[in-house]
A and B are shown apart, each in its own frame.
Chain A
Amino acid sequence: MLKDITIGQYFPGSSLIHRLDPRFKIIILFIYILMLFAGDSFICLGVGAVFTVFAILLSRIPMKMFLKSLKPLLPVLLLTALMNLFFVTSGDVIFKWKFIKITSEAVSISIFMFVRITLLIMGSSLLTYTTSPITLTDAIERLLSPLKKLKMPVHELAMMMSIALRFIPTLFEETEKIMSAQKARGAEIDSGSLTARAKNMVSILVPLFISSFRRADELATAMECRCYRGGEGRTRLRQLKSAPRDYIALTITLMFYICNLIVGKL
């Protein structure tokens, strides 16, 4: 049951998008988000949509995975659309019933917001679908490394994140073991009222916490044994090298961005 949970939803592959330097992918995503929020017209969104579809096709990940990624956020999407529909009051009234007034502008704005957020989610999903969490952590560490000069604990944060990623499967396995052990002792985890189930969760969480602390202690000792002393003077086995394709991808993105700006001005 817990095995099905995957964090980051990475789909291994070797498409062009997979092979892009993760640092560039993050920067491209950033420009993409700016692009979506820069223009106010549907044509601007159209440019963004073309870019998204183009990138998704290149990633060779089936479109339905992207639609799936929208599912958990559908309530938020619908709420945003509905809010705009009912509360935008400018423009011609096209529908009126008691106190509800819907204007033509409200319709267009709510569709606009819906599409904009949909594109935003799909674009971000593309990053996590094509980049493994550990690579992503690494890229974030490197992109943020200038902040080290401002005494930001960039290395420490990245190390914490990568250790967390490393221990997710281990802790899931352990949770399952504890659950079985407690079930064998008569704990009702899957049945009973909500409060009863919440109470029973305590019997799983307490052993899990205790064992996590023990693991943390042992891991710290093992890291010390392997000469860990923080980020200073560390070299890396994982080399992030930018290739010509990364610069080309960045250029294409910038071209889309400029195109978007020009279309917005028309």
Chain B
Amino acid sequence: MENIIEIKNLHFSYPAEEDDTPVEVLKGIDLEIRKGEFVAVLGHNGSGKSTLAKHINGILLPTSGTVTVGGISTADEEKIFDLRCRAGMVFQNPDNQIVSSVVEEDVAFALENLGVPYEEMRRRVDDALKDVNMYEYRHHSPAQLSGGQKQRIAIAGIIAMKPECIILDEPTAMLDPQGRKEVMSVIRRMNREHGITIVLITHYMDEAAQCDRVVVMDKGNVILDNTPREVFSHVEQVKAIGLDVPQVTELAWELKKAGYDMPQDIITEDECAEAVKRLFERE
């Protein structure tokens, strides 16, 4: 599969304030993301994961190094809108990314900006709303919706642009468990059914466990990059940078430490239940 996002030796520092040395947030990141992949980016606060996300659609530009999406460099000012249509971005707080007081008009916002003709806009807005299961709420005001519903509206607003990839910056951090579940299922479906590449920045380990690939960042560097199964088997290393592993992985790890024979690559509840069952049978 060809790469959609290519990040080469990316360095980034926020401009220095008076008599301050600039703080280097990203210290030479190399990352390639293939078309259709579902990638989670994990990292502690201040690890640079949000900064990295903002580089993918050109909100921030590299201090040095390059970022390209579908062959377009983010530094290419003439193609910036083309780039932003290919790489859509969803943020943490649903309230602060909804522009209009009517749901369907908010979903249409990007299309209005792009000058899409009315008939096509109508169709794409309706499709996007159906994709996130919010079609019946199209005439509502966002103020009447729950956090999870608002976040789905924000996602619909991005889907309507027909992007090749969507970057989500902790989209579930402010939601209740129900809202998280709804949003995650929408994201997964976008990836499976529409083949949209997903870059999910999160600090929920169970969400990362559902992805194809997990990238772990610490202090501006990528320190682990592999399948969730592989990454979470490095329990000690992951814990050392202040992150957790999924609860079931931790349980298996604790059991192993206590001297029981448990496999170390458990990431789902079913696998864990199965392994514990086998353990009981043997005892």
Instruction: List the interface of chain A (C-beta within 8 A of B).
Output: 133-134, 162-163, 165-166, 169-170, 214-215, 218-219, 221-229, 233-239
Task: For the complex of A and B, list the 3 residue pairs with the smallest distance between their C-beta atoms, beginning with the closest.
Answer: A222-B97, A237-B108, A169-B143
Within 8 A of A (CB), among B93-144: 93, 95-102, 104-105, 108-118, 121-122, 125, 141-143
Q: Write out the residue numbers on chain B whose beta carbons fall within 8 Å of the beta carbon of A214.
A: 96
* Interface range for B: 35 or more
Contacts of B143 in A (CB 8 A): 169-170
B142 to A225, Cβ gap below 8 A?
no
Question: Which B residues are in CB contact (< 8 Å) with A133?
Answer: 101
Within 8 Å CB of A222, what residues of B? 89, 91, 96-97, 99, 154
Q: Which of B85, B99, B104, B154 contacts A237 (CB 8 A)?
A: B104
Are B97 and A218 in contact, CB atoms less than 8 angstroms apart?
A: yes
**Nearest CB in chain B to that of A137: its residue:** B101
Using a CB–CB distance below 8 Å, which chain B residues touch chain A?
57, 59, 81, 84-85, 88-89, 91, 93, 95-102, 104-105, 108-118, 121-122, 125, 141-143, 154, 157-158, 161
Contact call B100/A225, Cβ cutoff below 8 A = no
A221:B59 contact, CB within 8 angstroms: yes
Q: How far is the CA of A165 from the CA of B99 in the complex (A)?
A: 10
Q: What are the residues of chain B within 8 A of A238 when measuring CB–CB?
A: 105
B96 touches A219 (CB 8 A): yes
Report whether A237 and B121 are in contact in the complex, using a CB–CB cutoff of 8 Å.
yes
| Contact residue among A162, A218, A234 (Cβ-Cβ distance under 8 Å from B93) | A218
Please give, as numbers and ranges, the residues of chain B lying within 8 Å of A165 by CB-CB distance: 101
Q: A residues within 8 A CB of B111? A: 235, 237
In the complex, what residue of chain A is closest to B96 when comparing beta carbons? A218
Compute how far the CA of A224 lies from the CA of B93 in the bound complex, rounded to whole angstroms: 16
- In the complex, how many angstroms separate the beta carbon of B110 from the nearest chain A beta carbon? 4
Known: A170-B143, A225-B57. A215 touches B109 (CB 8 A): no
Question: Are B118 and A166 within 8 A (Cβ)?
Answer: no
The chain B residue sitting closest to A138, CB to CB, is B105
Complex formed: what's the CA distance from A221 to B157 in Å? Answer: 14
A206 to B53 alpha-carbon distance, docked (Å):
31
**B contact residues around A223 at 8 Å (CB):** 99, 109
Contacts of A234 in B (CB 8 A): 112-113, 115
Instruction: State in angstroms the CA–CA spacing of A237 and B102 once bound together.
Output: 11
